[in-house]
A and B are shown apart, each in its own frame.
Chain A
Amino acid sequence: MKSATIQLETLVCPSCSQKIEGLLKGFDGIVKDTASVSFNNSKVKFEFDEEKLSVEDVEKAINKLGFDVIKSKVK
């Protein structure tokens, strides 16, 4: 189990954190209830199973949703 922090471009729309949360819920390898999107920081945090998915997968999906990823950190 690892925890990831992804820094996004500045989030500005009221519903964008909802959208990203919705996206994270759909991932199989993300531990339930650990995913959080902080609106003011524009940061996404979650814990995940590194055997089921990689951070790059999540980054790609977020990117596809229309948000640029600035950097990510895995611990």
Chain B
Amino acid sequence: MQRIIFKNKNKIAFITGVLIAVAFLSKWTINNMTIFKWSLIIASILGVLPIVIQAYQAIKVKVISIDVLVTMAVTGAFLIRNFEESAIVTFLFLFGAYLEQRTLNKTRSAIKALTEMAPESALKQMDGGEFEEVDIDEVDAGDILLVKTGAKIPVDGRVLTGEGSVNEASITGESMPVSKEAGTPVFAGTILDNGTIQIVADRVGEDTTFGKIIELVEEAQDSKSEAERFIDRFSKYYTPAVLIISFMVWLFTKDLELAITILVLGCPGALVIGVPVSNVAGIGNGASHGVLLKGSEVIRDFSRIDTMIFDKTGTLTVGNPSVSEKKYYGDNIDEAVGYLASIERESDHPLAKAVLEEIGETAFSEVKDTLVVKGAGIVASIMEHRIAVGNLALMERESIIINGKALADASEMEENGNSLVFVAVDGELKILMGIRDQIRPKAKEDLQKIKKIGVKNLVMLSGDNQGTVDVISNELGLTKAYGNMLPEDKSAYVKKLIEEGQIVAFVGDGVNDSPSLAIANIGIAMGSGTDVAIETSDVVLMNSDFSRLSHALGLAKATAGNMIQNIVIAVGVVIILLGGLIFGDWMNMSIGMLVHEGSILAVILNGMRLLGYRLRK
């Protein structure tokens, strides 16, 4: 019986509404008061049934819920034979609940779309070698799985055989298909656009990158800030308090009508639901734009930051340096280039990679007696020649004469933001290369947007030399830029600013900057969905897409503002209702219920605006 009533709650709301309409029509058209009365009586009794059940269940677990208050109010109205009020209040309450359900599902839709991308089944290789479809829970690490065109990749793993292209948008936010062949990693939740592959499972279920993202987003939606916990506590006591107050009013004034009106006013629905609704819509918007915001506390702090600190390499720049200028001096250059390539081939320094990429194919020779001079370069010998590759300090150390032309070239290159590599063979300068890391395309516009949204200081910290740092800083219009910083210098700088009372966000690539990410009020990781980045930071920009940073900040501000609006709406409505009750004579139960349900819908609809949030140009 209970179940049937429950499942048909929406139908009951509808019938109640029709009965009320019939009642008023018969009153106004044919002036039949019998139909009027009995329609309302039936509507009240039918409509209150699901509410009574909910109230009973709540009392059983020692909770005074809204249902309890409404049940008492309707019963009271019924007893004083005010059937009009009792019918309208039940209808509004049920209809309001229906609308709440519909609109709430909308606010959660973005996150639901994400979780529904989780794979549910897989084609697993059985003992006999054939593939059979099994539930995802039955797949373990080490299993061999078959993935066909159009199917979801069920686990994190590696391609064993076959080729195909995969849409990894669910992990990276990037919709360009990525081609896969034997040995390349694949990720759960991504979709095989074409081809057929067999893969070995490395991580399954919640351990996959996708599983972690979902878990994180789910936790974030329901994480509560200090303010929310306060509201929760408040609403827990508010409802029983209203019950007591209305009882006292009835006791002292003997005015039952007033007492039950107070009961209806005691529903803090909009207050309870307001902040979580903003939260879920804001985080949902982020999730569908490749921005993970870890909960409402993060949103609040992020929306208030004064200073944003950036790591240079890999954050403001592409992180893939290349040779932008080169100069040769004297003769036998081809030989010198070969020597340079041979030495750089043995180094894993990022500049060395850039040099090798520039030179390409050449004659390599055997390198002997390699000596690495820290912070300066390399000295080695090749076929009895002494070769020095490094910066100006190394050249001075090797007492190499650098003529006026070379010096002029060097200072010009440095002004253009290059790191310099000098190459000397047997004490004579042969090659000078300027190596530069490209600034991310559109980084400047994005930084302008961030400044416009209200971040006062944009600071860059880098391990690179001050000259390079200054050039990039000027180009991007940063507030401050510091070079020659080790990771511990960076985190010390972050700490200093926080101690000065600033709210600081640190943007880094999540691996070598983890101390700074952890110390900053808000750590923002530019992660291509790597585990470390996801776990240690407060905000993750998927696929290392810098342009999402301004969206993330704008969204955090919009969400934080939305939460405040919702609190104002909820508290304002309660104040207006109480004021109307005390000072005005227009207040009755039906109006009270209408305003109450209206305020719940208002906060949900307000929250829903966040789903469509986009940063204005």
Interface residues of A (CB under 8 A from B): 10, 12-15, 18-19, 21-23, 25-26, 38-41, 43, 64-66
Q: Is the CB of B63 within 8 A of A38?
A: no
B residues in contact with A65, CB < 8 Å:
57, 60-61
Chain B residues touching A, range: 20 to 34
For B104, the chain A residues whose CB sits under 8 A away are: 10, 12
| Residues on B with beta carbons closer than 8 Å to the beta carbon of A66 | 2, 6, 53-54, 57
A15 touches B272 (CB 8 A): yes
Q: Sample 8 A-B pairs with CB under 8 A, ordered by A number.
A: A18-B63, A18-B236, A22-B61, A23-B61, A38-B222, A40-B276, A41-B218, A64-B57
Measured CA separation A12–B269 after assembly (Å): 11
Q: Chain B interface (Cβ within 8 Å of chain A)? A: 2, 6, 53-54, 57-58, 60-63, 65-67, 97, 100-101, 104-105, 108, 111, 218, 221-222, 236, 268-269, 272-273, 276, 279-280, 600
Question: Shortest beta-carbon distance, A32 to chain B, in Å?
Answer: 16
Q: Separation in Å of the A74 CB from the closest CB of chain B?
A: 13
CB-CB < 8 A to B97: which residues of A? 12-13
The distance from the CB of B390 to the nearest CB of chain A, in whole angstroms, is: 55
- A19 CB contacts on chain B under 8 angstroms: 57-58, 61, 63, 65
Q: Which of B53, B54, B63, B276 has the most CB of A within 10 A?
A: B63
Check A40 against B222 for contact (C-beta < 8 Å).
yes
Contact B65 A18 (CB under 8 A): yes
Residue of B nearest to A43 (CB): B218
Q: A23-B61, A39-B222 are in contact. List 20 more A-B contacts (CB 8 A).
A: A10-B101, A12-B97, A12-B101, A14-B600, A15-B58, A18-B58, A19-B63, A19-B65, A22-B61, A26-B61, A39-B276, A40-B111, A40-B222, A40-B279, A40-B280, A41-B222, A65-B57, A65-B61, A66-B2, A66-B53
Complex CA–CA separation, A66 to B97 (angstroms): 15
- Residues of A near B61 (CB, < 8 A) are 19, 22-23, 25-26, 65
| Chain A residues with CB below 8 A from B269, complex form | 14-15
CA distance A64 to B57 in the complex (A): 8
User: In the complex, what's the smallest C-beta–C-beta distance from A43 to chain B, in angstroms?
Assistant: 7
Q: Using known A-B contacts A38-B222, A40-B221, determine if residue A14 contacts B63 with beta carbons closer than 8 Å.
A: no
CB neighbours of B273 from chain A (8 A): 14
What B residues does A64 contact at CB under 8 A? 57
The distance in angstroms between the C-alpha atoms of A13 and B267, with both chains bound, is 12
- Are B67 and A15 closer than 8 Å at their CB atoms? yes
Q: Counting chain B CB atoms within 10 Å of each CB, which of A43, A65, A66 scores highest?
A: A66
Given contacts A15-B63, A22-B58, contact A41 B221 (CB under 8 A): yes
* Complex Cα–Cα for A6 and B57 (A): 20
Tell me the complex Cα distance, A38–B283, Å: 15
Least CB distance, A21 to chain B, in whole angstroms: 8
- Hey, which chain B residues are within 8 Å of A40, CB to CB? 108, 111, 221-222, 276, 279-280
Question: B53's closest neighbor in chain A, by CB?
Answer: A66
Closest to A26 in B: B61
Contacts of B63 in A (CB 8 A): 15, 18-19, 21-22
B279, A10: Cβ atoms closer than 8 Å: no
A15 touches B101 (CB 8 A): no
A13–B65 CA distance with the chains assembled, in angstroms: 11
> How long is the Cα–Cα vector from A25 to B236 in the complex, in angstroms?
15
